[in-house]
Amino acid sequence: MISCIIVDDEQHAIDVLIHYIGQTPFLQLVKATTNPIEALEMVNTQKIDLVFLDIQMPELSGLDVARTIQGKAKVILTTAYSEFAAEGFDLEVVDYLLKPIPLPRFFKAVQRVLNTVTSSVTATPNEESIEDDYIFVKTELKGKMLKINLRDIDYIEGMKNYVAIYHAGQKTMALLNMKDLEERLPKKYFLRVHKSYIVSVNKIVAIEGNLVVLKNVKAEILLGETYRNSFYDLMKHKLMG
């Protein structure tokens, strides 16, 4: 769960972000305030992962606050003025949202935060398990994001601008491409076997010619010629005879 605060001197802008955060399962709102000094104190004394930060405020600008935070929390700048974008990114903020903020654009920004936080937790040299790992995906239903536990994934099928994720007896259509998903998934547990398929290594039960057979999966999953060598390289330490 990503803990966050909102800092803005306009109540309407705060209300919009509160509504959006309420629709995002991995965000937990700790505080919404119009006082940037209060926000700085919270970042310094509590575990705050993310700050939604307005730029133009009367006592202390959002850019000043971002400089003071100095990496103690991730920052997404929110403003009605585009001229501060360059300076904002010089401060290494995660994203820069222009008001009025559309919900899909909000989701894109917070997904970046989630990817950063998840990568820092899972990308360790001694990674042993995917039991507690997960991804959030934007589904074909507008404004809906779904949490999928990695341990539940059987395989993933590429479909032009979508992917179909087969997990725990369900099929979820997600607005992703295979390349991005392949890079996100831990290579120890997921393997690209075809231009259209990624499979869970733990679910493989047999290889029959050019087909990969998965536990409790009836679908025929092809082992593509391009991916055959890398597949057997991964499997060679398990081959007998």
Q: Superfamily for 2-121? A: Response regulator (3.40.50.2300)
Residue 97's nearest CA partner among 83, 111, 109 is: 109
Residue 88 has pLDDT above 70, yes or no: no
Q: How far apart are CA 52 and CA 3, in angstroms?
A: 11
Residue 4 has pLDDT above 80, yes or no: yes
Q: How far apart are CA 4 and CA 43, in angstroms?
A: 10
Does pTM surpass 0.75?
Answer: no
Count CB-CB contacts under 10 A for residue 18. Answer: 13
Q: How far apart are CA 233 and CA 217, in angstroms?
A: 24
pLDDT tens readout for residues 23-71: 998 999 999 999 999 999 999 999 999 999 999 888 788 888 988 987 7
Mean pLDDT value of segment 145-163: 90
- Whether residue 100 is preceded by a cis peptide bond, meaning omega within 30 degrees of 0, is yes
- Which is more confidently placed, 109 or 91? 109
Q: How far apart are CA 224 and CA 229, in angstroms?
A: 10
Q: What is the pLDDT of residue 234?
A: 75
Residue 122 has pLDDT above 90, yes or no: no
Quick one: pLDDT band at residue 119, thresholds 50, 70, 90?
low
Mean pLDDT value of segment 90-103: 86
Highest CATH level, class, for 151-238: mainly beta
Q: Indicate the burial class of 117 (C-beta count within 10 angstroms; 0-12, 13-18, 19 or more).
A: middle
Question: In which residue are the tokens 């998840």 written?
Answer: 118
Structure tokens at 193: 């076997």
Residue 56's nearest CA partner among 7, 91, 90 is: 7
| Average pLDDT of the chain, as a whole number | 85
Q: How far apart are CA 187 and CA 147, in angstroms?
A: 20
- Which is more confidently placed, 239 or 39? 39
Residue 162 has pLDDT above 60, yes or no: yes
Q: Which of 84-88, 110-114, 150-154, 168-172 has the lowest mean pLDDT?
A: 84-88
- Which is more confidently placed, 174 or 126? 174
Residue 135 has pLDDT above 60, yes or no: yes
Name the residue ranges covered by the structural domains of the chain.
2-121, 151-238
Q: How far apart are CA 215 and CA 222, in angstroms?
A: 15
pLDDT tens readout for residues 205-236: 988 989 999 999 999 999 999 888 888 877 76
